Structure 1
Amino acid sequence: MPRTTTLECSGCPPLRALTFDALGLIKVVEARDKQRGAPLVVERWGDPESSKCVMAVSMIDRKSHPLLAVARKNNQIEVLSPVNGDIQATISDANDLDVQSEENNIVGLHLFAKQNSELAFRDCTLLTCTTKGNASIRSIELADSSKGSSCIKTWNVCSGGNILCCKVDGNEKFALFGGKCVEMNIWDLNNFTKIWNSKPPTKDNLGIFTPTCFTSATFLMKDDHRKFVAGTNSHQVRLYDVSAQRRPVLSFDFRETPIKALAEDIDGYSIYVGNGSGDMASVDIRTGKMLGCFSGKCSGSIRSIVKHPELPVIASCGLDSYLRLWDTKTRQLLSAVFLKQHIIHVLFDSNFDVKVADLLPCNEQTPTEILVSKEVEGSPLKRKKSSRNKPDGGERKKRSKQSKERKESKENDGWEKIASRDERSKSASKKGNKAQFQCCDLDVD
C-alpha cells in the first residue's frame, strides 16, 4: 500500500494551472476564492487517447496572445491558446521515418518568446529534441497552419545514448542536453556549436566505469547559463559551473530513488527536488544542505515541479494522479486535486485574473466526474442475499423503540383500567353500605 499522510489543507491563493496527463488531456485548474479557497477543474481540452500522451510542453507566458506548445507521443506538436484551448497550428512529421519511430519520441520542447510582438501574433519558433539527439529549430506560421512548418536548422547533440532532459536558458541563447550515457553539454543556439561538455565520472576502486544517467536538469538562474543543476538516476544532485571546471562543483545524495524532477527558485540558490518514491524537499545548493521536506507524503513518482513566478507557491504532480500545491515558506500542503490520470507536466499561468474568471462559469466537475458521481449515488449498496429482506440497523432500532412504546402504552392502559375498576368497586361498596345503614334505621323505627 502507498504511504500517505492525511493533512488539513488551508487552501491556496487565486491561481491558474494547466496539467497534462498520460492520456493527452489538458485540464485547467483554477482557485478563484480570494480568501484561500480550494482549486477546481474548470475546463478539459482534448479526448483521452494513449497515443496522444504528452511528452513535453512549453508556454510563452504573456498578457497578450500567449502560446502553448504540446509534444505528444505520436510525434505531433500542437500550438494552441492557453486561454481557451483553441488549436493554432499542428505539426506532423509523417514523412520523417526516423522521428516517427517509437523509440525516438520528442523529449525536449521550447517556444521562443519573440521581442517583436507583431511577428509573435503571426508565427512562432520552437526548439525540439528527440531521444536519439535529433535537435531542430522550426518556424510555424499561425495565420495559415495548412502550410506546416519550415525547418531552420537541424543537428545532432549526441553520438550515442538517449537524451532524457533538455533545457533552454532565460536569454534563449543556450540549450542544455543530457541523458542516459550522454554527458551534460551546452550548445550555442546562434552558431549551433557545442561550447561545453561535462567530464565523465572516474572509475571506482575496482576499476569499473559506470556511465551517468541524467534524468532532469535546470539552470540555477534564468539569466546565467554557466551554473546549472542536474539530477541522476543514482539519486544524486550535481551542481555544475561552466566557468570553473568540467566535473561537478557540488554533489550530494537525496534519498534512495532516482531524481525525477528539479525546479529552481527565484532567489538563485534554492532548488526543489522530487524523486521516484514521492519525496520532495528544498535544498540550499550553495552548501548542499536540505532546508526541509514538504509535509504530506506523495504516493507516486513525482514527474514535474514548477514554481509560480509571483506567488510563494510551487506545484508538483506525478503518477499518483494528484496535483499538489505547496507553500514555499512553510513547506505545508495548501491543496490537492485528484485528476484521475497520471500527470506528466504542470504549468502556471501568471496572468490569471480573478475578476475576469468570475464572469465565466466555473464547472466544479468535469462531465466524466459528474457521471461517476451519479452512478455512485444511484447504485445501491451490495449486500448478501440473506440480508436483502432484513431491515437495516437503523430501522430495527426504530421498530424496537415503537414496540417498547406500544408495550408501555398498553401497560399504562391496563393499569388505568384496573384503577378505574377499583374505584368503581369502592364506590359501589360505599353505596351498598349506605343502603344497609338506611335499612337498619328503618327497622329500628
Structure 2
Amino acid sequence: MPRTTTLECSGCPPFRALTFDALGLIKVVEARHKNRQLPQVVERWGDPQSSKCVTAVSIIDRNSHPLLAVARTNNQIEILCPVNGDTHATISDANDLDEDNNIIGLHLFAKQNLELTSRHCSLLTCTTKGTASIRSIEFDDTSSETSCIGSSETWNVCSGGNISCCKVDRNEKFALFGGKGVEINIWDLDNTTKIWNSKPPPKDSLGIFTPTWFTSATFLMKDDHRKFVAGTNNHQVRLYDISAQRRPVFSFDFRETPIKALAEDVDGYSIYVGNGSGDMASIDIRTGKLLGCFSGKCSGSIRSIVRHPELPVIASCGLDSYLRLWDTKTRQLLSAVFLKQHIMHVLFDSNFVLEGTDKEQTTTEFKVSKEVEASPLKRKKSSKNKEHMLDGRERKKISRQSKERRMSEAQEIEGKTHGLGRKLKLVTQK
C-alpha cells in the first residue's frame, strides 16, 4: 500500500522532471497548468527489467540538442534524447565489468562543439572498483548504435575499497571520488592527475576510530572547486576546503542513519540533506545550523535530491516510490506523485515551457505568489473592537476602584472595633 500524507498540497508551478527507477523505467512527470495543479506521469520509456536498474544519470540541459546519459546494472550506457526518449547510442562495458563492479559515476560534458549531421559528446565514467575513464563518442541521428568511439583515457582513482560517490564541478575541470574505505580525492581532468587527498579525522575521546565510508558528495559553490560537502555512512556531514587542510574544516551529525543524498543550493552556502530513514532538512553549512526540516516525513530511504536551477522548488525521491516536490523557502510539501517502483534518481528539465507562456513570467509569478502566501495578514481593527477594548478598560478601572473602596471601609471598621475594645477593657479594670 502506498503511503499517503495528511498534509495539504498546494500544487506546483509548470515543470518537467525525469525519474529513474529500480526496474530501468524512465518516467516523465509534468505539471502543465499555470494555476499550480498536481503533476502527473505523461510518458514512460523502456521496459521493466531488474537487470536494467539505473545506477547513474547525467544530463546536458540546454535549449538545442539536449542529451541524457543513463548507466545500468548490466553495465550498459545509453545516450538518449531527454525530449522524446529516442536512443542515440548504446555503449556496452559488459566484457570488462562484472556484477560487483558496476558504473557508479557518470557525467556528460556540456562544453563541446555540435554539428548538424553528426553529434559528439564526451563522457566520464567511474566503476565501483575505481576505474575511471573519459571517452569521446560520435553518433548519427539515424542510428541507435555507436558509430565511432574516439579517444579514450583510463586511470585508477583508488588502490582498494569501493567507490560510492563521484562528482564533477560546474566548470568541468575537476572531479572528486570517494567511497567505502576510500578517502575523498580530487583529480584534474585535463591532466588526469590527483591534486588533493583527504585525511581521516583523528580518534575520538574514547580512542575509537571510525572507518572511512563516504556515501555522497557535492561541490558547494558554482565557480569554486576547493570547497565541497560530503556525507558519510555514520550519519555525519563534513565540509572540506582543500586550500586550508586535508581534514574536515567543519563536521556535524544529522540524525542517526547514513546520509544518502546531498544537494547544494544556488546561494552557495545552504545544502539539503537526506538520510536512510527518510529525514530531509536544510542546513547552513557555514555554521552547521539546522535551518529547518521538510514537513511530511518520507517513509523510505531518500536516494536523490535535486534543486531546480530557477524555481524555488526542490525534488526528492527514494525507496518509498514517491516523487516529492518541496518549496525551498517554506519547506512545505507542494506535491507528491506515487510512481510504483523504487526511484533511484531524479532530474529537472529546466528548459520546459508551456505553450503560449513566457518562462521568465511564469517563474516570477510563482515567486510572487509564494511571497504573498508567506507574508502575514494584518487586519485593521474595527470601531466595534475599539469600543469593546474601551469598555474592558473601564470595567477594569471600576473594579479596581471598588476593590480599593472595600479595602478602605474594612480598615475603617477594623479601627473602630479596636478602639471600642480598648474602652471596654478600661471600664472592666475600674
Same fold (TM over 0.5): yes
- Please tell me the residue identity of whatever aligns with 2:108: L
Summarize the alignment of residues 317-356 of structure 1 with structure 2, pairs less than 5 Å apart: 317-355=317-355
Structure 2 counterpart of 1:65 = 65
* 1:142 Cα offset (Å): 1.7
Alpha-carbon separation, structure 1, partners of 2:203 and 2:11: 50
Matched residue SS, 2:209: coil
1:132 positional shift: 0.2
Instruction: For 1:43-58, list aligned pairs within 5 A.
Output: 43-58=43-58
Contact 1:201-1:211 at 8 Å conserved across structures:
no
Q: For residues 8 and 222 of structure 2, what CA distance do their matches in structure 1 show? A: 35
Moved over 6 A (4+): 1-4
For structure 1, which runs of at least 5 residues remain unmatched after alignment? 358-445
Within a 5 Å distance, the mapping from 1:211-226 to structure 2 comes to 211-226=211-226
Is the CA contact 1:3–1:297 (under 8 Å) kept in the aligned structure 2?
Answer: no
* In structure 2, distance between residues paired with 1:9 and 1:3: 15
User: How far apart in 1 are the matches of 2:81 and 2:115?
Assistant: 17
Residues 316-370 of structure 1 deviation map (CA, whole Å, 9 limit, x = unaligned): 000000000000011000000000000000000000011179xxxxxxxxxxxxx
State the alpha-carbon separation in 2 of the partners of residues 121 and 322 from structure 1. 38
Q: How does 1:219-298 map to 2 (within 5 A)?
A: 219-298=219-298
Q: Give 1:137's match in structure 2, choosing from 129, 134, 140.
A: 134
Separation (CA, whole Å) in 2 of partners of 1:95 and 1:115: 29
| 2:110 maps to 1:113 | yes
User: Once the 2 structures are TM-superposed, how far is the Cα of residue 6 of structure 1 from its aligned partner?
Assistant: 1.1
Q: Structure 1 CA distance, aligned partners of 2:23 and 2:259?
A: 24
Closer, same or farther in 2 for the Cα pair 1:156/1:165, shift >3 Å? same
- Residue 7 of structure 1 aligns to a residue whose secondary structure is coil
Q: CA deviation at 1:117?
A: 3.5
What per-residue deviation string (whole Å, max 9, x for no partner) do you get for residues 76-121 of structure 1?
000000000000000012332xx2x111000000000124333896
Whole-angstrom distance in 2 between the partners of 1:342 and 1:204: 37
User: Partner of 2:423 in structure 1?
Assistant: none
Partners of 1:353 and 1:301 in 2: CA distance: 32
Percent identical pairs in the alignment equals: 83
Structure (1/2) with the larger helix percentage: 1
2:265 maps to a residue whose letter is D
CA distance in 2, matches of 1:272, 1:231: 11
What TM-score results when the alignment is normalised by the length of structure 2? 0.80
Aligned to 2:183: 183
Alpha-carbon distance in 2 for matches of 1:45, 1:148: 25
CA distance in 2: counterparts of 1:158 and 1:120, whole angstroms: 40
Is 2:158 aligned against 1:128? no
Structure 2 stretches lacking a partner, 5+ long: 358-430
Cα pair distance change 1:121/1:244, threshold 3 Å: farther
Paired residue type of 2:276 = G
Q: Conserved in 1, the CA contact under 8 Å of 2:304 and 2:344?
A: yes
* Contact 1:260–1:303 (8 Å) recurs in 2: yes
Structure number, greater radius of gyration: 1
Aligned to 1:200: 200
Residues 248-291 of structure 1, C-alpha deviations (whole Å, 9 max, x = no match):
11101100000000000000000000000000000000110000
Paired residues of 1:63 and 1:351 also in contact (CA < 8 A): yes
Contact 1:4–1:298 (CA<8 Å) still a contact in 2?
no
Residue 167 of structure 2 aligns with which residue?
A: 167
Counterpart of 1:308 in structure 2 is 308
Q: Alpha-carbon deviation of 1:3?
A: 8.6
Match of 2:299 in 1: 299
CA positional deviation for 1:207 = 4.3
Give TM-score, length-normalised by structure 1.
Answer: 0.77
1:227-256 alpha-carbon deviations (Å, 9 max, x no partner)? 000000000000000111111111011000
One-letter amino acid of the structure 2 residue matched with residue 324 of structure 1: R
Q: Please give the root-mean-square deviation of Cα atoms over the aligned residues, in Å.
A: 1.8
Instruction: Tell me, yes or no, if the aligned pair for 2:139 and 2:147 is still in contact at 8 Å.
Output: no
Rounded Cα–Cα distance in structure 1 between residues aligned with 2:356 and 2:344: 28
How far did residue 122 of structure 1 move? Answer: 1.1
**Cα distance in structure 2, aligned partners of 1:326 and 1:310:** 14
1:149-164 alignment, distance < 5 Å: 149-164=149-164
The question of whether the paired residues in 2 share the 8 Å contact of 1:232 and 1:259 is answered with yes
Residues 1:3 and 1:62: Cα distance change in structure 2 (over 3 Å) = closer
Partner SS for 2:10? coil
Three-state SS of the structure 1 residue aligned to 2:355 is helix
Gap change, CA 1:291 and 1:119, over 3 Å in 2: farther
- Offset at 1:201? 2.3
**Equivalent residue pairs, number:** 354
Q: Partner amino acid for 2:122?
A: T
Contact in 2 for aligned 1:2/1:299 (Cα 8 Å): no
